[in-house]
Amino acid sequence: MLSMEAASGYFDLVERDAEFGAIDALLGATPGTGRLLAIEGPPGIGKTSLIAEAKVRGHEARMEVLGARGVELERAFSYGVVRQLFEPFLARLPAEERVELLAGSAALAKPLFEPALLAAEPAADVSLALLHGLYWLAANVAARRPLLLAVDDLHWCDLPSLRWFAYLLPRIEGLDLLVVVGLRPGELGEDPVLAHIVSDPIATVVRPAPLSAAGVARLVSDALARKADRAFGSACHEETGGNPHLLRELLHAVAAERLAPTGANVPRLRELGAHAGSRAAALRLSRLPPEATKLAQAVAILGDDADPRHAAALANLDEQAGSDAAAYLARADVLRPQSPLGFVHPLVRSAVYSTLSTIAQQAAHARAARLLADSGAESERIAAHLLRTAPAADAGIVRTLRHAARGALARGAPEGAVAYLRRALEEPPSGPELVSVLLELGSAETLVSGRASVEHLREAYDLLDDPIGRAKAAVLLGRQLFLLHHPDESGEVLRRGLEELVSADAEIGRRLQAGLIHNAMMEPRLYTDAVELLDQVRHQAADATAGEKMLLGLLALHDARANVPADVAIDLARRALADGVLRKAAKGAGPFIMATMVLAMADLDETLEIYDEALTDAHRSGSVFAYAAAKIFRSQALLYRGELTEAERDGREALDACETWGLALAAGYLTGFLTCALIEQGKLDEAAELLARGGFEDDAETAHAHWFVDSRVRLRLARGDPRRALEDALAAGRSFEAVGGRNPAFLPWRSQAALALLQLGDRDEARPLAQEELELARIWGAPRALGAALRVAGLVEGGTRGLALLEEAVEVLEGSPANLEQAKARTELGAALRRANRRSQAREQLRRALELATICGADPLAERAQTELLATGARPRRIPLSGLESLTPSERRVAEMAAGGLTNREIAQALFVVPKTVEVHLSSAYRKLGIGSRAQLPAALAEQGRGAAPARGSTR
């Protein structure tokens, strides 16, 4: 007869050939093709045993196998599962190997394993830094030997660890890293991050089926060492539904009663079946010594992997009594036989926990918290228990929870910090400490729940009485209201803070003023307020402090949008951005983005360099908001240069960050830029799907919606719906002008409306719109906007006059970084020359247009250029994409770094990309430069650089 302990894994692995095949397929995957296997099923179906089997087979395959398990009690413990995976592994390594694994970008993860490195007052959001550092830690481990990460009960995984898995999976290609997880299916719809992980393209999902009636009958006979009657076996199958855990629990009861497996005993079996599962564990406990029950309840309170000494102390047992009780519980198949203490199954833990009343549970968690505090445990482990206690008006509890919240924030887990601080608020804190807790809670909630943050920041603001403290709170509250798109409330808070501050702190005053201006610049009904405030800034025009630079950045954007000559706006923007002070202070916020956008609209190479620096800051500081903002607007800059593949990549990475962290205000910008990149590549269905998924309502009267509406205009024109495109373009124009917008570099609504009218056959109506845009573009003077206006004006005019305008467009764009716009101008000029029967000149323009469009990845434009070229009588061959000029910014950056002697891994870490990306860029660069190895790069770059156009801005 099998013992019940021995039967545990055996029951779970019967009839699992398909699951074993999936495990073998995972472990046998081609090196560098990272995969995830998700074992999904209800409690008791055998997920844990299958994961254990995967770990065994991983060890046999000489893999580094790291395991962890989600624990319901520890869901608020930040990076708990990640720490389970890596902490024991790092702890057993020699010091020099540990240093090696945590070198380079992996050093960003050090604070997770070395608490002394956490700042006393950490930044509010370091999530990205830890995610990136942990990725490189895993990559470094996998570089030594293939790595298998095995996580059971992923549905109970803490959110920061889940986010790391979501961050890891898209970057796993190229690593010898495999992941196997177990989870319950019912949790997927409730947790978007969990659903995102399981639905990743690299994931394979297996769902173990219940045991068959024959399988159950065989297990019953094996466990009871006696062949079971058919009726008895069938009854066991019916009572348990083929669930291995429930079958095991039922057979525990059968064995305890010495019930023979005969048909005559089926009625009694059915009575026992009613107790199978949760009540069966309680029944087993009732047959054990009272000390065993106390210890089991203590372990249920402490959670899995409980220290035996802590469990014994919590159960009021001495060390020997605790050891004896643990042995009883192991023999009864309640606890695992090995230390640390844990239950054989989460269902057993739930059953034992439920034997305690709510009051008893709260009291036990309070005692556990004191016990852990006395033993010097981390504050977050203590806080996990305090979350389950009743308020006691204890100042010590408030201090512990605040300390735990600071630790959670320092580890990039704002959800945990919010949970701790909300519980601290219930305690409640007294006197001045209440304001501190409210401010800390409101600040943490800005990363989790915008509306809740407003509630608590407002409450703190109302309780403060000193002007400087109120002004600082007003900056936070006003910014959050702005991000939630409540401009009136935001403006009221900022204005009141500025009035009360008087002249107590000039720098805080500037930040309040910047917030007011930013609000008003984006809303037509508030725009006059922005003009009045900016007039004051214009007369001050200082640029020494971060606050002064914020004001200058806003002024630069306002003037550029109003269409002053580009040189004037560029000077303001450069002063705002000088020395990186604004970039570091703003952390992706409006004034920095606005100043940089001015340079993008002026087609300056330095734009991409500034966004590169912002991305580096975001990775090192860990600010997801700053990362998303830099990616969104870097995507815009790449789009305007015609780097469509990279613009799409940046846009999708920003979209992932926004969706994961809930950065809703970015929707209009991000959707607009990404949609345009898709349209230019001919991905119209994807563009339409993206537009339908999110953005702004049709009647949105806000500057945040301008690029969203512009992308919808372009999609409707591409799909042959000029009437609705015209309506959208005119509406966007009215909204743009209502916030002082005149510059077509920002929103070329007139030319888009003119193209729609041209499609509708109304050339006379199109002509004044095209002409007005051309006049405005000449004032701004930058090549992209002027070239586009000339192209549209040329199309509208037609004839000799139109041909001259198209020739001027090509001349303006020649040598500029606006390759996509140049390709469009050359295509239209070539087509016009062909129609004028100037075929030789047409071929010259169309060949260059085809090459530029192909380099940009603008497939529909390339197809049109080729069609026109064929119509001239030419027979074009495949366009050779070669030479230094054909390299994308990322390819050139990587090639230059490789030529300088850096390895692929060093390049990847420096640029915050994955090694596979570096390999792809280098392979493409070799092909375009006509070389075959890394050793040839320096000479190829030097030779082809002579006489080439100036290098474009580098990207990351």
* DSSP H/E element including 152: strand 147-152
177-183 and 203-206 strand pairing: unpaired
Instruction: Kindly state the tokens that stand for 204.
Output: 């394979």
**CB contact at 8 A, 626 and 618:** yes
What separation in angstroms does the CA of 264 have from each of 231, 232, 275, 301? 9, 8, 20, 42
**Which DSSP state fits 448?**
T
Query: For residue 239, with 0-12 CB atoms within 10 Å meaning exposed, 13-18 middle and 19 or more buried, which class applies?
Result: buried
**Distance from C-alpha of 626 to C-alpha of 614, rounded to nearest angstrom:** 7
Token pair belonging to 879: 């366009």
> Is there a contact between 146 and 178 (Cβ–Cβ < 8 Å)?
yes
The angle, 0 to 180 degrees and rounded to 10, between the axes of the packed helices 667-680 and 706-718 is 20
State what percent of residues in the chain have pLDDT above 70: 92
Q: Report the predicted TM-score, pTM, of the whole model to 2 decimal places.
A: 0.80
C-alpha dihedral sign at 348, 352, 357, 358: negative
pLDDT digits (tens, 9 = 90+) for 355-400: 899 999 999 999 999 999 999 998 999 999 999 999 998 999 999 9
Q: What stretches of 760-838 show up as alpha helix (H) in DSSP?
A: 763-780, 783-797, 799-813, 819-835
Residue 685 half-sphere exposure, CB side, CA atoms within 13 Å? 0
Q: What is the pLDDT of residue 624?
A: 76
Residue 539, pLDDT > 70, answer yes
pLDDT digit string (tens) for 621-659? 767 778 888 999 999 999 999 999 999 999 998 887 777
Contact between residue 457 and residue 438 where contact means Cβ atoms under 8 Å apart: yes
Of 19-23, 249-253, 566-570, 763-767, least confident by mean pLDDT is 249-253
Output the pLDDT for position 880. 56
Tokens of 32: 């560098």
Residue 123's pLDDT is 47
Q: Give the burial class of 201: count Cβ atoms within 10 A of its Cβ; 0-12 exposed, 13-18 middle, 19 or more buried.
A: exposed
Tens digits of per-residue pLDDT, 332-345?
Answer: 888 988 889 988 88
CB contact burial 715-739 (16+ within 10 A = b; e otherwise): bbbbeebbeebbbbbbbbbebbeeb
Structure tokens at 169: 């999976």
- Over residues 807-866, the pLDDT tens digits come to 999 999 998 999 999 999 999 999 999 999 999 999 999 999 999 999 899 999 999 999
For residue 482, how many other CB atoms are within 10 A of its CB? 23
- Percent of the chain at pLDDT exceeding 90: 55
Burial of 830 (0-12, 13-18, 19+ CB in 10 A): buried
Is residue 122 scored above 50 in pLDDT? no
pLDDT reported for residue 412? 73
Res. 297: pLDDT tops 90: yes
How many Å from the N-terminal Cα to the C-terminal Cα in the chain? 64
* Token representation of residue 527: 């725009």
C-alpha pair distances (Å), 252 with each of 442, 456, 533, 666: 52, 53, 78, 57
φ/ψ of residue 37, rounded to 5: -115, 120
CA neighbours closer than 13 Å in the CB half-sphere of residue 758? 19
What pLDDT is attached to residue 947?
Answer: 46
Residue with tokens 């389950």: 388
The SS3 of residue 205 is strand
What is the tens place of the pLDDT at every residue in 404-426? 999 888 777 888 899 999 999 99
Q: Torsions phi, psi of 377, nearest 5?
A: -70, 160
Look at residue 64 and give its three-state secondary structure. Answer: strand
Radius of gyration of the chain (CA): 33
AA identity, residue 855: I
